Structure 1
Amino acid sequence: MSSSFGGYVLKKIWFIQPLITNYTIPIFAELGKYVHLTVIYSPVDTRQGFGSKANVVIPGVKLIEVPTWWPPFGKIGMVQRGLIRILKNTQPDAVILFANLRYLSFWSVLAWCKMRGIPVFPHGHGLYKKRNPGFLWKTIYRAVLWLSTAYICYTPSVAESLLRLGLPEKKITVAENSLVNPFPVLPEEKTGKENGILFIGRLREGCRLDLLISAVARLRTERCLDITLHIVGDGIDAEHFKSLASGMPWVKFYGSIYDQKKISDISRQCMAGCYPGNAGLSIVHMMSLSLPPVTHDDMVAHQGPEPSYIEQGVNGILFSHQTSDTGLVSALHAIFDHPKQLRSLQVGAYSTYKKLTEPSLAVRFVNIITQAKISSEKQ
């Protein structure tokens, strides 16, 4: 299998990931339609709520599972074992590599590809989580870019975090991290009679589901609003949150749902989405359902850079991270209190989703690799 993008034929691509999740499976499946794709990954503890599955099969994609060695002294120096040995036995057209700089295997793959002339593209968050990166981080990322063909950023905000340090623009590109929902909900399908708030994500430390439960409880008692909270997801802290909602029949836990049609059906009861803690790709999922996401405004604190897609009052609402309790209550109340503004937010959320997924993330990857290969041959 091979595909021609811009007149250049790609055949084999490696994609090295720390794990395979439910949201990455469709991306790999689509990418496998264009190229011979090999995904190398490690197993994960499913209790974390990632939705990683054992014995996963992706049609048209070769999967190689390798163990990850974790050092006893902390979370620096991890190694996905066997990557160089596998590299020696193949010659891919390109390698996309998850950019976790704490992995020794990240650096070994970068160096190996550099020495062998294999185009390699780290894919990551850059420095968006660093409030004041200085000379050391600038030096480290300059080394990453020197070893790389190009660094693929999750979002434009990630690219900005690197460009602010004066790193070479020609080595920095963006493939907006997104997911394609096969069962989206269009804005015109919203009736205006919905009374639900939808949470989608892992039930973990930092998701602040407790804050959302408390906020909805206050709105029900203090404002007499008939709100139902719908929670889709699982994780290590699931039982803790269920205990907090004991005696609250208006809080509905659905657990992990892998059927996107079911999630879409649940969302039709909702007017907005909310991730009160440190969010990530759930923001895009909510937008695909015409649910304007509500989350806090401290972008550096978020789990991923995807909340930067939110434009205040255009496609979602950001509340102050410093006054989370009152800020979230006010944000949710505003949604119920201003139906015309809500309608505009729903339209804006879905419009953003369409912009992020046309073209799809898989096509963006192939376009970036193709353009880099063409540019290198012209030099």
Structure 2
Amino acid sequence: MTVILHIQPALPRYRIDFFERLSQRYGPTMKVIYSPGSLGALTRPVSAKWAIAVGPMQRLAGGLVWQPGVAGLAVGRGDIIVLSGNPRQISTMVLLVRAKLNGARVVWWGHYWSSTSRRWRQLLRHLPMAVADAILFYTDNEVDAFLAEPIPTRDRRIVAALNNGINVEEIRNLRQPFIAAERENALLFIGRLSAKAELELGLQALALLRDKAPVLHVIGDGDLRTVLQVQARKLGLGESIVWHGALVDEARIAEVANRCLAFMYPGEVGLSLIHAMAYTLPAIVHDEPRRHMPEIAAFRAGETGLSFARGDACSLARMIQTMLPDGGRLEQFAAAAAGIVGPSFTTEDMADRFEALITRMTEASQ
């Protein structure tokens, strides 16, 4: 009986439905090994039979990390080990070597690039990929980019993607039809209030619009919340920003999202984009795809929203001023968003794609 082990540094809420779907397909042979997370409302204890908690991640010198209880996991011939693609996790590297020596098959699941990627970091990630039996990227775009590289060993490995997404079933029932004339003159930001989000740039853009600025609904929390609230007051935006805090109840998120005309994320967007597009919200994001997370693959400039010059508050203000009054164009963007997130970038499609990968690996080993 083939065992499938997923090694995860944490188990955020948005991953639970994906693993639950895999558990329904593979039964007790599928397990997820994870450490307690530190993502605030996004992480919580999980009681599912497929979830096995180990010790918290331990920081080592030089930016390296050790995950207790992982390096010595029992792995045997024919087992499939899905590793979280971070070469800084030394425990994962030890398990990778042991798995290969014991005849297990290894899936390296990670980014081809991320918003902080540099070329040397990409090369570092390619080293463990070279001994994996399959490489699983977050998006189809990353597969295309990887296969375009002159990497001699790539042709012997299976390369696939999940199109990383969220559970949209509840959202489909909660979202309202996008009719621009029936919505507030309002933007939505959803995500952690961290440096990566660059929300201060969004506040600067709204201040430039003065009395023409839309209301900004902020769903999320983080280390910078107090700093951002102080900045908003200094910019004279006290009445224009609604701070909802970290919401995990989808019905409460829907109440806010259904009022808004568009989604704005000034910084390095990831799954927040997928969440907003699931509500069919047009998006405003910056124009450098490699300085986003892989989920930017769902965005089409001029089709699902507009992009502004990265780091430029004036450019962002112009995009807001250009896009929000044009109801017809907003509705076209919304329809395009619905055509992308729903067919893919969902946990249902992710599970289908993962099952297809396992089938390919099984057939290749016969």
Report the TM-score, using the length of structure 2 for normalisation: 0.88
Alignment of 1:201-240 (within 5 A): 201-221=191-211, 224-225=212-213, 227-240=214-227
Structure 1 residue 39, shift from structure 2 partner: 1.3
C-alpha distance in structure 1 between counterparts of 2:181 and 2:106, whole Å: 48
Measured in 2, the distance between the counterparts of 1:92 and 1:198 equals: 47
C-alpha distance after superposition, 1:203-232 (max 9, x if no partner): 0112111111222233242xx35x211111
Deviations 1:233-280 (A, max 9, x none): 111111111222236122111111111111112111101101111111
Structure 1 pair 197–92 and aligned structure 2 pair: CA distance change class (3 A): farther
Question: Do structure 1's residue 25 and structure 2's residue 21 form an aligned pair?
Answer: no
Q: Secondary structure at the match of 1:374?
A: helix
Contact 2:198-2:267 within 8 A present in 1 as well: yes
Question: 5+ unaligned residues in a row in structure 1: which ranges?
Answer: 1-9
Shift of 1:108: 1.4
2:333 corresponds in structure 1 to: 345
Aligned to 1:16: 7
Confirm or deny: 8 A CA contact 1:314 1:345 kept in the other structure: yes
**Correspondence for 1:165:** 149
Secondary structure of 2:355 counterpart: helix
Rounded to whole Å, the distance in 2 between the matches of 1:329 and 1:230 is 16
Task: Give runs of aligned pairs for residues 99-114 of structure 1, distance below 5 A.
Answer: 99-114=85-100
2:43 is the counterpart of 1:52: yes
Deviation string for 1:312-360 (max 9, x for gaps)? 11112221115x2111111111212321111100111111102314652
Q: Hey, what's the Cα distance between the residues in 2 that align with 1:131 and 1:100?
A: 12
Output the CA distance in 1 between the equivalents of 2:362 and 2:42.
Answer: 34
Distance in 2 separating the partners of 1:301 and 1:212:
17
Deviation (angstroms), 1:198 = 0.6
Partner residue, 2:25: 34
**Equivalent runs, 1:153-192 vs 2, <5 Å:** 153-167=137-151, 168-169=154-155, 170-181=157-168, 182-184=170-172, 188-192=177-181
- The corresponding residue for 2:324 is 336
Q: What is the DSSP-based 3-state SS (H/G/I as helix, E as strand, rest coil) of the residue aligned with 1:87?
A: coil
Residue 278 of structure 1 aligns with an amino acid whose one-letter code is E
Counterpart residue type for residue 138 of structure 2: Y
CA deviation after TM superposition for structure 1 residue 130, in Å: 7.5
Are the counterparts in 2 of residues 13 and 92 from structure 1 also a CA contact under 8 Å? no
Does the C-alpha gap of structure 1 residues 120 and 301 become closer, same or farther in structure 2, counting only changes over 3 Å? same
Go from structure 1 to structure 2 and tell me whether the alpha carbon gap of 1:330 and 1:214 turns closer, same or farther (over 3 Å shift): same
CA contact (8 A) 2:111 2:138 kept: yes
- Tell me how far 1:153 sits from its aligned partner: 0.6
TM-superposed deviation, 1:121: 0.8
Deviation at 1:131, TM superposition (A): 7.1
Letter in 2 for 1:180: N
Q: Following the alignment from structure 1 to structure 2, what is the Cα–Cα distance between the partners of residues 79 and 17?
A: 12
Match of 2:132 in 1: 148
1:370 correspondence with 2:353: no
Q: Which amino acid aligns with 1:319?
A: F
Q: Give the match for residue 285 of structure 1.
A: 275
**Aligned pairs (5 A) from 1:261-340:** 261-302=251-292, 304-321=293-310, 324-340=312-328
Q: CA deviation at 1:137?
A: 5.1
- Counterparts of 1:92 and 1:339 in 2: how far apart (Å)? 56
* Distance in 2 between residues matched to 1:18 and 1:50, nearest whole Å: 16
Q: Is the 8 A contact 1:278 1:301 kept in 2?
A: yes
In structure 2, C-alpha distance between the alignment counterparts of 1:239 and 1:38, rounded to whole Å: 39
Q: How high is the sequence identity, in percent, across the aligned residues? A: 24
* Contact kept in structure 1, 2:176 and 2:258, CA below 8 Å: no
- Letter of the 2:308 partner, please give it: F
Q: Pick closer, same or farther for the CA change 1:91–1:14 going to 2, 3 Å.
A: farther
